[in-house]
Amino acid sequence: MTGPTLDFDDRVPYDTYVHASTLHTLQQPLTKDPGEMSFLVVSQVMELYFGLARFELRETQKLLRDGDVWGAMAPLRRTVLDLEALNAAWRGLRWMTPADFNRFRNALGEASGFQSAMYRHLEFLLGLKSESVIRPFRRHAELYGELSDALHAPSVWDDVIALLARRGFDIPPDALNADRTREHEPHRAVEAAWEEIYRDDRPENALRALGEVLTDVAEQFGDWRYKHLVAVQRTMGAKPGSGGSAGTTWLMRSMARVVFPELWSARTAM
């Protein structure tokens, strides 16, 4: 029985593929407090999961535009698992009390999670659009351009609504051609379409199955926002956030924004 290869002419293949040696150079704490390392690593892990969820949602959009509803559910299910892992990452910070955070908080300066470009990409894909949140990136041409493109591009929900129209549901032009740079406004026709879809509970009803996995995505993203709020409340109460954000007040307002709203409102009539 042959054992694993132990001698390599150049870099270890695992490192060539994963770039682990590079990853482990990216943690550069600004203080000597050991707790900052935990805060930094968890923040970076979350950034990676934001990017992974964005990748999967973009794959979802490609398949929806091709009309492959069953196929689109594979990246959506992976997105649900990505968001579950993202939520689990908060456990890595449950040790942090206000005193623990205060030992390195000042070193963060104006840095704030509010400034995460990848998180904004994820929000935009989920239909939570706002032009004001890309303003912090104005002086960074490449980032600003990418975010501006994402702001103007269809969200996953826009693609779902377009799919419903192609499948024969009565979706009027104002629902199909709404301003994509603004947050999605719930539409009665979209809600009615989902009511009709859910009345057909046959296993082969692909749209109903799609609705359920989209609901899972929305629920997991809502859980992340709630866990974020609780983490902030545990470590800093109602103080202003880093970088001048409104802290818990802003997070509470954010939680009120509903992802895929007609999927939720339609359940009242089911």
Separation of alpha carbons 57 and 10, rounded Å: 36
Residue 105 annotated as binding site:
yes
**Of 45, 89, 77, nearest in space to 217 by CA:** 77
- 22, exposed or middle or buried, with CB in 10 Å at 0-12, 13-18, 19+? exposed
**CA-angle at 120, arms to 27 and 118, nearest 5°:** 35
Q: Which residues contact 59 (CB under 8 A, 6 or more apart)?
A: 75
Q: What is the DSSP string of 130-154?
A: -GGGGGGGTT-HHHHHHHHHHHHSP
Under 8 Å between Cβ of 119 and 137: no
Residues 6+ apart with CB under 8 A from 51: 118
Q: Is 140 annotated as a binding residue?
A: no
Residue (of 162, 234, 44) closest to 226 by Cα position: 234
Q: Residues at the annotated binding site for substrate?
A: 105
User: Binding site: which residues?
Assistant: 105, 228
Binding region for heme? 228
